[in-house]
């Protein structure tokens, strides 16, 4: 892992898990979203964020707005941005009505708000967002490469093209979001992607990097055998 140039951000909303990941030196930042918060049973958004930010002060962390109205999104974004210098505000690339958030991105970025523009997939969205970002303000452009792969498309060519677009704004970094397997970290690193967001489930597999395949094969055989014995299968 030491050879990787890509920054690994932990993705989650489980506070103990987030703090555990934060303490690991190879975790360079953290992200969360309303869906992860709902799964974690969080009901008080601000209280949760403040609790996390009381500990996480020196690594970037992204919190997302949750309105579908751009005026309210702006209000929420300014509130979230005020919580800490290490906070990035996640803005969805569109609302649920397919209305793009480009003008809101332009306004917030121009006001110095550090943004993480999220849920992007087509390159047209990337181009429009990058055009809207202020070149002097740090920002993230988050493409859901894992979801692109779920549609049967190879995300690597698209992510490679996105990197060229992002170069227009030197303080903007590209995020490979929603990876599906550990291999995605190495794919993202190989093309020069700046950041990849990774859940705890994938991070748990880091011990397998470089693992001997003969031993892995034998371990799999033992697993099948032991489970069959434990189940008491008979003919």
- Cα–Cα distance, 172 to 65 (Å, whole number): 20
CA 86 to chain centre: 16
Burial 186-204 (b: 16+ CB within 10 A, else e): ebbbebebbbbbbeeebbe
Residue whose C-alpha is closest to residue 62's, from 35, 38, 80, 44: 80
Annotated catalytic residue, options 90, 107, 167, 169: 90
Q: Is 7 a catalytic residue?
A: no
Residue 229 in contact with residue 221, Cβ under 8 Å? no
Residue 195 corresponds to which tokens in the numbers above? 């950041």
CA angle 152, 95, 197 (to 5 degrees): 50
| Contacts of residue 74, Cβ cutoff 8 Å, sequence gap at least 6 | 104, 107, 108
Give the pairing of strands 172-176 and 139-143: parallel
- Cα–Cα distance, 184 to 228 (Å, whole number): 32
Residue 175 in contact with residue 116, Cβ under 8 Å? yes
- Cα–Cα distance, 128 to 93 (Å, whole number): 10
Residue 96 in contact with residue 122, Cβ under 8 Å? no
Residues belonging to the active site: 90
């Amino acid at each position: 892992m030491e050879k990787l140039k890509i920054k690994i951000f932990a993705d989650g909303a489980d506070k103990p898990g987030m703090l555990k990941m934060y303490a690991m030196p190879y975790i360079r930042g953290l992200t969360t979203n309303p869906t992860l918060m709902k799964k974690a049973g969080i009901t008080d958004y601000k209280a949760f964020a403040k609790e996390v930010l009381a500990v996480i002060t020196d690594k970037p962390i992204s919190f997302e707005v949750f309105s579908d109205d751009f005026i309210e999104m702006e209000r929420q974004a300014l509130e979230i941005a005020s919580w800490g210098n290490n906070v990035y505000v996640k803005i969805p690339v569109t609302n649920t009505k397919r209305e793009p958030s480009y003008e809101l991105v332009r306004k917030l970025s121009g006001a110095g708000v550090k943004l993480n523009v999220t849920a992007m997939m087509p390159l047209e969205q990337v181009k429009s967002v990058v055009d809207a970002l202020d070149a002097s303000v740090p920002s993230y452009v988050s493409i859901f490469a894992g979801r692109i792969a779920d549609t049967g498309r190879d995300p690597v060519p698209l992510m490679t093209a996105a990197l060229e677009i992002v170069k227009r704004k030197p303080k903007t970094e590209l995020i490979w979001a929603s990876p599906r397997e550990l291999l995605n970290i190495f794919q993202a690193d190989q093309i020069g992607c700046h950041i990849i967001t990774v859940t705890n489930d994938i991070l748990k597999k880091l011990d397998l990097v470089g693992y001997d395949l003969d031993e892995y094969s034998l371990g799999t055989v033992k697993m099948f055998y032991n489970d069959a014995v434990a189940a008491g299968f008979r003919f």
